[in-house]
Amino acid sequence: MKKDIFNIIVPLNSHGYRIDKFLQSQINELSRTRLQALIRDGQVKINNIIINSTSKKIKEDDQIKVNFPPPKETLIKPNKIPLDILYDDDDIIVINKSPGVVVHPGAGNYDKTIVNGLMFKYKNNLSSIGGKLRPGIVHRIDKDTSGVIVVAKNDNAHINLSKQFSDHSIKRVYEALIWGSLKPQNGKISEKISRSVKNRQLMTVRKEKGKIAITNYKTLKIFQNSNLPKISLIECQLETGRTHQIRVHMNFKGNPIVGDKSYGKSKKKFKKIDPKIENQINNFNRQALHAKSLGFLHPKTRKELFFEARRPEDFDALIKNLKEASV
């Protein structure tokens, strides 16, 4: 099988970078561990010379070549799970992910993930850049978040899509139900996000440290009456794609996402509320967050593509009942 190859010339603004950090900035979903393994395996060349040091500094105009070997046989067990496929061609697959489904295998989740389903349906016809646990995976959304994701069938498509994510040129729009109402109702949140010091599995806004995160939001509807606490339906367009970005930013604003157990209270007590709505909210066992749409350039044809995913039934039913209760 022919190897896929990634070539790039180092720009002036990257002079002096470590080779592994530079490549990670260029290939969005290539983990540092995966990159360092490729470097140690002799799969990276600078000016046509194989390097083995992951900390080697690069210079302006260096020519870098990365070989991606064919994927080795993996231990991932293919599972026949339902995949809501919105689009499929020789280079990409676009999926509407259901809530409660993990994107790729990891600690505690080694089967019945999107990857297991992809392996069953597409065999080895997936990109290898993500390694044996993430074949085809260019980006991901949280287990309990629903909506659109794009998968790469080959390494060239993966590299191209990763570059679009890295350049922030991909258009990502989410819908969410939040507690209260945002002030102002339409705006932009530009707050740095990093790992929480108290809980390394969570993220937090940290003004001194962290990576810049930008969320544009607009309020679509505010639900409220004498028997209903204020809840807003909002739309968020991401300029960056940090871990848990919308959930962290909404919590920072004091408007956590309904049902979010990590960045808000999963259950609330109400002084006065329609019993039907109270029961539905308290039994909504995940964050009310949906990756509504995804727009990008096709990695081969360069045609502009746009995909929209319907809301899952539980999310749609909650919105419908909130509308009825707020009349």
CA distance 66 to 74: 22
Backbone φ and ψ of 177, nearest 5°: -105, 125
Q: Name residue, tokens 């709505």.
A: 277
β-pairing verdict for 289-297 and 146-152: parallel
Q: Name residue, tokens 């600690």.
A: 107
Q: Is 142 a catalytic residue?
A: yes
- Residue 43: how many other CB atoms lie within 10 Å: 18
Q: Chain centroid to CA 39: how far?
A: 26
Handedness of CA 44, 49, 50, 56 (dihedral sign): negative
E strand segments, the chain: 4-9, 44-46, 49-50, 63-68, 84-88, 92-97, 146-152, 171-179, 186-190, 193-195, 203-205, 214-225, 228-238, 289-297, 304-308
Return the HEC string of 8-22.
EECCHHHCCCEHHHH
* Annotated active-site residue in 142, 144, 155, 274: 142
Q: For 302, left (φ over 0), alpha (ψ -120 to 50), or beta?
A: left
CA distance 137 to 30: 10
179, 263 Cβ separation under 8 angstroms: no
Active site residues: 142
